[in-house]
Amino acid sequence: MLIKKTLKAATLGLALVGVALGANADEAVDFPSKPLQFLVAAGAGGGVDNFARVVRPMFEEAVGGARITVVNLPSASGALAHQRTANGAPDGHTLDFASTTYVTSLAAGQNPVGLDQLTPIARMQSDVMALFVNPERYPDFESFLEYAKANPGKVTVGGTHTASPDHVAFLSLRDASGLDMNFIPYDSTGNATANVLGGNIDATTTSLSPLLSYIEAGQMMPILIFSEERLDHYPDVPTTVEHGWDLTDGNDRAVFVHADTPAELVQHLEGVFKEIFDSETYQAYAERVNLAYREGWMGGEEYRQRLENNYALYSRLLQNGN
């Protein structure tokens, strides 16, 4: 069903969009005019996948009941999702859900889709990174640290892909701590977690929200959090800054479209996602899965600048890592 919406997005009650698009108030965008695709640049069950699937019903409602298909494309660190978005129609009906992996893989030369080929709509999450273990093997970070120092080169830490946020967090920790550890890449957070639980690797570096169910079940535990201050939900878990390591970068999750998508439609979509972000339903979800520790929202232009800055940062870090 074709739902005609003015650029003021009055039907959505988005005053900020109406202000931003005041000059185009008499124009109208036919959106959506066909079914949409949410391309998830990651495997099922991880943070990006959860993000897309939580947002889906809210987005459908916000744009009048559009039909949306969620497609997981984890291959090549999510590059396939970015390629499909960049090579598709610039009409806003293909939305690319991605994490910081997009820019880390680009910095590593593993992603053929540059920052000039996608337009960020908005960042909605900035998840806190942590070092996770099976608590039956390491009850706390001090025991992990002691073992790593006594067994140089034998500690293995897993995560999603090389040049992913998990990998960058590992490289940052290894460089700051001086510990002799090795990184093992997996195709999903679930596989990395399974290998920790199976005793095949010692730990995993990943963000908090995807492992919440494992934490609640007592199977996995964060023993070091990449944060300036201890988190309310984990008051007994030390932070990187406590150890003198200025490692606080998180894992962003954001939405992109084709770079040639009309500016009016980009602004319209940003307004839709801002309405979703501000909703009680979304904020309750963010609180429930520990996504409320950092401000998640960042508009498209501001997030573009962050991506460019992080590209330079990760390029330098990855040049010295492996």
Instruction: Let me know: does 69 contact 35? Beta carbons within 8 Å.
Output: yes
At 175-201, the pLDDT tens digits run 999 999 999 999 888 899 999 999 999
Q: Given CA atoms 54, 47, 163, 75 in this order, what sign does their dihedral have?
A: negative
Instruction: Reply yes or no on whether the pLDDT at 301 is more than 80.
Output: yes
Instruction: Reply yes or no on whether the pLDDT at 302 is more than 80.
Output: yes
pLDDT of amino acid 147? 98
Neighbours of 236 (CB within 10 A): 7
Q: Give the DSSP H or E segment for 111.
A: none
**b/e per residue 238-250 (b: at least 16 CB within 10 A):** bbbbeeebebbbb
pLDDT of amino acid 146? 97
At 52-70, the pLDDT tens digits run 999 999 999 999 988 999 9
Residues 6 or more apart whose CB falls under 8 angstroms from that of 90 comprise: 257, 258, 259, 260, 261, 262
pLDDT of amino acid 29? 66
pLDDT of amino acid 187? 82
Q: Of residues 44 and 260, which shows the higher confidence score?
A: 260
Q: Give the DSSP H or E segment for 116.
A: none
pLDDT of amino acid 5? 36
Instruction: Reply yes or no on whether the pLDDT at 106 is more than 90.
Output: yes
User: Encoding tokens for residue 241?
Assistant: 């800054």
Q: Give the DSSP H or E segment for 95.
A: strand 94-99
Q: pTM for the full model?
A: 0.80
* Residue 14's pLDDT band (cuts 50, 70, 90): very low
